[in-house]
């Protein structure tokens, strides 16, 4: 039995000793790289077709190979393909048994699968950004506190807050489109490491498989996993933004804030406290980001110490890639649905505003009267201190009290204490006025 098993392995002729059964399972990747079955078969068909051109195969032989591989593809689709553990160590040997050095085929499968996954993630991210811009346009009249250091700073539009993450997610979308270009290069025909000895047409194979160019060096073609690392780095940055977005919404959904409420579809209750509604969807988005960071860091450590071209360590790139792509796609979909079904309470947002948040507006009011800002900042600060000392809101100070702070404060000072006026003054590009926010929405939509 051991001899029969060795004979079925593509590399079995070199070895006389029996493989430790634990080593057999330790070496296998078929349990997770079986997801590449379609890419592997398409690559094999393209390779066989190209070998008609080299004279290695006749047209009749290619037709028979294509027919057989198409049958194997259908077996996988129908769930009828039977994996033989101990023999089918990976997807390539499994398909070979049912139907060459595998190094270039491994890299080809990975690139094709990852390319398709990233394109799907791109579609989901566009959907999220579309929902975000639509919501920003719908909710444009709602005002809320803008925070720095988690302390109330200045009034802003709720839409402006949403678009701050829209800007981050747009950056992620632009980076993703660049990553897809880097992934979508063909290594097929690179052989084990030195290239192909039969003049195979690598360009024709690449075009058949939808690649947009070739890996120009055969050693790089089989030994490079930077494209997976780059995809995980991109995913980590996206999930970093997703985590911060989730944290804001978790805070805004607390009773202390009460700005938003999540749909029941994306929350759970407490097993002990009946009144609670927990933001599990957002907490999981925040938590799963750490798994992606770990996968990216782990693959970095795997790659950094191995010598050139293919080494078995590179097999460890497959599982984190598969798991990370599922996590990132699911996360973007969950985020989109949370945002689409979110209930907003603009009256709570408005109630959270306070006149002291217009202290900068008071300083800017004095700048318009010709007072240097280095002075107006100090004057405004003294007015804040006076209101605190009197234990009254800043807009309840009398005109005499304001003039007592600085005689250059005019009779029209109370016009400053208007939240709508405050946000509308921020009309420069990127600001929180209605016109500036609408411009952001327009720009973001064009980028999609």
Per residue, the 3-state secondary structure of the chain, as one string, reads CHHHHHHHCCCHHHCCCCCCHHHHHHHCCHHHHHHHHHHHHHHHHHHHHHHHHCCCCCHHHHHHHHHHHHHHHHHHHCCCCCCCCCCCCCHHHHHHHHCCCCHHHHHHHHHHHHHHHHHHHHHHHHHHHHHHHHHHHHCCCCEEEEEECCEEEEEEEHHHHHHHHHHHHHHHHHHHHHHHHHHCCECCCCCCCCCCCCCCCHHHHHHHCCCCCECCCHHHHHHCCHHHHHHHHHHHHHHHHHHHHHHHHHHHCCCCCCCEECCHHHCECCCCCCCCCECHHHHHHHHHHHHHHHHHHHHHHHHHCCCCCCCHHHHHHHHHHHHHHHHHHHHHHHHHHHHHHCEECHHHHHHCCCHHHHHHHHHHHHHHCCCCHHHHHHHHHHHHHHHHHHCCCHHHCCHHHHHHHCCCCCCCHHHHCCHHHHHHHCCCCCCCCHHHHHHHHHHHHHHC
Instruction: Please tell me the distance from the alpha carbon of residue 179 to that of residue 296, in angstroms, as a whole number.
Output: 15
On the CB side of 293, CA atoms within 13 Å amount to 12
Predicted confidence at residue 365, as pLDDT, reads: 95
Predicted confidence at residue 91, as pLDDT, reads: 53
Predicted confidence at residue 11, as pLDDT, reads: 45
Chunked into runs of 10 residues, the chain (448 residues) has average pLDDT values of 47 56 64 79 92 91 90 82 61 52 85 97 98 98 97 97 98 98 96 92 96 97 96 98 98 96 85 74 95 96 94 92 95 96 97 97 95 94 96 95 94 96 97 98 95
For residues 40 and 94, the answer to whether their CB atoms sit within 8 Å is: no
**146-150-154 Cα angle (round to 5):** 25
The total of other beta-carbon atoms located within 10 Å of residue 344's CB is: 17
Query: Closest Cα to residue 445, out of 129, 178, 124, 122?
Result: 129
- Enumerate residues 6+ apart whose C-beta is below 8 A from 27: 19, 89, 312
For residues 382 and 390, the answer to whether their CB atoms sit within 8 Å is: no
Instruction: Please tell me the distance from the alpha carbon of residue 254 to that of residue 277, in angstroms, as a whole number.
Output: 9
CATH class of 355-417: mainly alpha
Q: Burial of 350 by CB count in 10 Å (0-12 exposed, 13-18 middle, 19+ buried)?
A: middle
Predicted confidence at residue 238, as pLDDT, reads: 98
Instruction: Please tell me the distance from the alpha carbon of residue 237 to that of residue 121, in angstroms, as a whole number.
Output: 14
Predicted confidence at residue 20, as pLDDT, reads: 64
How would you classify residue 7: left for phi > 0, otherwise alpha for psi between -120 and 50, otherwise beta? Answer: alpha
- Please state, in angstroms and as integers, the Cα–Cα distance from residue 394 to each residue in 1, 383, 404, 422, following that order: 89, 7, 14, 15
Predicted confidence at residue 72, as pLDDT, reads: 86
Give bridge partners of residue 147 from the DSSP assignment: 152
Predicted confidence at residue 27, as pLDDT, reads: 62
Looking at domain 104-197+215-351, its CATH architecture is: Up-down Bundle (1.20)
Q: Specify the pTM.
A: 0.86
For residues 324 and 363, the answer to whether their CB atoms sit within 8 Å is: no
Predicted confidence at residue 7, as pLDDT, reads: 45
Q: Burial of 215 by CB count in 10 Å (0-12 exposed, 13-18 middle, 19+ buried)?
A: buried
* Residues assigned a catalytic role: 149, 270
Predicted confidence at residue 255, as pLDDT, reads: 93
- Enumerate residues 6+ apart whose C-beta is below 8 A from 109: 33, 36, 39, 40, 43, 91, 92
Predicted confidence at residue 79, as pLDDT, reads: 82
For residues 117 and 415, the answer to whether their CB atoms sit within 8 Å is: no
Sign of the CA dihedral with 315 first, then 21, 34, and 109 last? positive
How would you classify residue 213: left for phi > 0, otherwise alpha for psi between -120 and 50, otherwise beta? Answer: left
For residues 188 and 47, the answer to whether their CB atoms sit within 8 Å is: yes
The total of other beta-carbon atoms located within 10 Å of residue 364's CB is: 17
Sequence ranges of the domains in the chain: 2-99, 104-197+215-351, 355-417
Looking at domain 2-99, its CATH architecture is: Orthogonal Bundle (1.10)
Query: Closest Cα to residue 400, out of 390, 415, 410, 388?
Result: 410
């Amino acid at each position: 039995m051991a001899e029969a098993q060795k004979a079925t392995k593509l590399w079995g002729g070199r070895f006389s000793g029996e493989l430790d059964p634990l080593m057999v399972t330790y070496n296998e990747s078929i349990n997770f790289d079986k997801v590449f079955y379609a890419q592997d078969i398409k690559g094999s068909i393209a390779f066989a077709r190209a070998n008609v051109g080299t004279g290695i195969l006749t047209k009749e032989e290619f037709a028979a190979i294509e027919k057989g591989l198409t049958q194997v593809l259908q077996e996988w689709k129908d769930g009828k393909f039977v994996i033989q553990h101990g023999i089918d160590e990976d997807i390539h040997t499994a398909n070979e048994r049912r139907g060459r050095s595998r190094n270039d085929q491994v890299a080809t499968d990975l690139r094709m699968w990852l390319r398709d996954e990233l394109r799907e993630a791109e579609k989901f991210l566009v959907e999220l950004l579309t929902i975000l811009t639509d919501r920003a346009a719908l909710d444009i009249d709602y005002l809320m506190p803008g925070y720095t250091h988690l302390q109330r700073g200045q009034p802003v539009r709720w839409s402006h807050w949403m678009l701050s993450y829209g800007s981050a997610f747009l950056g992620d979308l632009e980076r993703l489109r660049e990553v897809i270009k880097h992934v979508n290069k063909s290594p097929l025909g690179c052989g084990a490491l030195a290239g192909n000895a039969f003049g195979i047409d690598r360009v024709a194979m690449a075009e058949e498989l939808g690649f947009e160019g070739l890996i120009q060096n055969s050693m790089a073609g089989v030994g490079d996993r930077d494209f997976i690392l780059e995809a995980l780095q991109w995913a980590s940055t996206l999930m970093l933004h997703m985590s911060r977005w989730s944290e804001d919404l978790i805070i805004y959904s607390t009773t202390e804030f009460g700005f938003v409420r999540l749909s029941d579809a994306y929350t759970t209750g407490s097993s002990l406290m009946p009144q609670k509604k927990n933001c599990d969807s957002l907490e999981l988005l925040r938590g799963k980001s750490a798994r992606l960071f770990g996968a990216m860091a782990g693959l970095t450590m795997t790659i950094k110490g191995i010598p050139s071209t293919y080494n078995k360590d590179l097999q460890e790139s497959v599982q984190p890639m598969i798991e990370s792509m599922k996590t990132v796609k699911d996360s973007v979909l969950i985020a989109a649905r949370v945002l689409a079904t979110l209930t907003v309470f603009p009256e709570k947002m408005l109630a959270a505003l306070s006149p002291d948040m217009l202290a900068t507006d008071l300083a800017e009011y004095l700048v318009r009267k010709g007072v240097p800002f280095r002075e107006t900042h100090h004057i405004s600060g003294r007015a804040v201190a006076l209101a605190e000392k009197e234990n009254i809101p800043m807009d309840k100070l009398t005109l005499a009290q304001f003039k007592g702070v600085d005689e250059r404060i005019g009779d029209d000072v109370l016009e400053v204490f208007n939240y709508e006026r405050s946000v509308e003054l921020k009309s420069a590009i990127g600001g929180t006025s209605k016109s500036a926010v609408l411009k952001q929405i327009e720009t973001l939509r064009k980028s999609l």
